[in-house]
Chain A
Amino acid sequence: MAATEAMKARRFEEIVLPHLNMAYNLARWLSRSDQDAQDIVQEAYLRAYKFFDGCHGEDARAWLLAIVRNTTYTWLQQNREHVKNTPFDEEVHGLDSEGSATLINQADNNPEAILARNDDKRQINQSLEQLPLEFREILVLRELENLSYKEIAIVAGIPIGTVMSRLARGRKMLLEYLARINEGVK
C-alpha cells in the first residue's frame, strides 16, 4: 500500500510537477494576486494528486490547467464574495465594432502606432488585467501558455468555436483598452 502510494507520488512528481510555472502563471493572471495564486496552486495540486491515476501523459498539461482554472473559479467565488464577478456586459464595456473602429482608425491612432507607443510592460499588463475573466483566461492560455485551440477548449470547458470567438473578442477589447490608455497619456 505504502509502496504503491510512493510510486504514484513519484509519477506525479515526474509528470505533473514540471508544469508548476504554467499552473502558477494561470492562477496569478486569473486571481491577480500573488498570495491567492500560491494558495490556489497548492490547493489545485492537492486536488490533482487526489484524482491522479498515473495515466496522464501527453495531456497532463491541459488536465492540470483545467484543475487550476476550476480551483481558481471556486476560490474567487468563496474568498471574494464582495468582488462579485459581474457577467460580461455589452453596455458597460461598450465595444460595438463601430465604436472601437472609430477610435482606433483615427489618423495617428492605428493599432501599430498604439502598440509602438505602448511598448511598455506596465501598459500591456494593465490592459490584460482589465479584461473580463472569461476573455483574459483565453488570451493567457493562448498567448502566454501557448496552448492550441483544442487544449484551450479542454481547459476552459468550452467548444472550439467559442475559443475562437472569445479570442477575437478579447484581442479587440485589448486594443481598445490600449487605445484608451494612450488617450489618457497624450
Chain B
Amino acid sequence: MDCKEILALLPAYVDQELGVSESIEVDNHVLGCLSCQNELASQNALRGALKKHATYFKAPNHLENHIRAALPLDNAHSGRSGKPALKWLGPFNWFSFGTAITSVVALTLSVSFYLAIPSPNDLLAEDVVSNHVRSLMVNHIADVTSSDHHTVKPWFNGKLDFSPTVSDLTAQGFPLVGGRLDYLDHRSVAALVYRHRQHLINVYIWPVANKQNIAVKTLSSQGYQLLHWAEGGMVYWVVSDLNPRELLFLALILQAQGSQGSS
C-alpha cells in the first residue's frame, strides 16, 4: 500500500477499528515512512488531548429526579402512595405549557419523519454500499479467493440454499477475484467479487419469492455506483466506485451469462 492508502486507513487504525491484516500492513508501512509516522503521532496526540482535556458534561442531579418523577412507577417501588400510576398526565412539573406544546410539535414532526422514510430499495441500497465499504475496509473481500469459477461456485454449496451463477469474465475485462458469504436484506447472500483495473466490484445475488423481472436500475450513493435488477427469481445488486458506464457493461455481461444458464 502507498502513503495515500495508509493515510486513509489511519483514522480507523488509531481507533482500533481495522482488521488484523490491515493493521499489520499499517504497522509495517509506518515503520519505514516518516511522514505517515508524523501523521499517526499527531492523530494519537489529538486523541489523547481530547480524552484528557475535553469536558465531559455530567447531568445535573435534579435532571434525573425530574425524569424519575415523571415515570409512572408503582407505589411499592417508588415509595409514593396514593398517586396515580400514569404520572405523565398528572401534575408533572417539568414541562411548562410551552415546552409541552413544543414536544407535541416535535412528536408530530417525528411521525412525519417516519412517513418520509426512504423506500425499502433506498434503505437496501444504503446497506449494499455499507457492506461494500466494509468488505474493502476490513480486508475481508473474499472467503474463497480464486479466479476459477469452477472453484468459487462449488464453494457456496451447502452454505447457501441456492446456487448463484458464477462466471469468469476475464475475457471481458472483469477477472473474478473470489466469493464470500454475506448478509443483506435479512438473509444470507452470495457476494461475488470482480476486478476491473484497480476497482473492486461486489456483486450480491440472492433469490426472491417474487419471480418478477426488474430491469436494470442505476443509483448512486456516497460516491458509489449501484446497479440493481431481478431476473429468473434472483435479485442482483452491483456496487463499486467504477464509473457507471463500465459498471453497466458488467451488468449486461452478467445478464447475458445468467440467461445462458452457464455456470
Chain A contacts to B: CB under 8 angstroms: 2-3, 5-6, 8-10, 12-13, 17, 20-21, 23-25, 28-29, 37-39, 41-43, 45-47, 49-50, 70-71, 74-75, 78-79, 104, 110-112, 115, 118-121, 124-125, 128, 139, 142-144, 148-149, 153, 159-162, 164, 167-168, 171, 174-175
Contacts and interface: CB of A to CB of B under 8 A. Distances in A.
Contacts of B115: none
Contacts of A24: 57-60, 63
Interface of B: 8, 10-12, 15, 17, 38, 41-43, 45-51, 53-60, 63-64, 66-68, 70-74, 77, 85-86, 88, 94-95, 99, 102-103, 105-107, 109-110, 113, 126, 129-130, 133-134, 137, 222
A23 B110 CA distance: 19
A13 B63 contact: no
Given A20-B67, A160-B134, A118 B49 contact: yes
B46 A13 contact: no
What is the predominant secondary structure among interface residues of chain A facing chain B?
helix
B64 A17 contact: yes
Nearest to B85: A2
A160 B133 contact: yes
B226 to A, nearest CB: 13
B77 A10 contact: yes
Which 5 residue pairs across A and B have the least CB separation, nearest first? A111-B42, A6-B74, A24-B59, A2-B85, A161-B133
A38 B12 contact: no
B50 A25 contact: no
Given A160-B137, A171-B43, A139 B50 contact: yes
A75 B110 CA distance: 12
B42 A167 contact: no
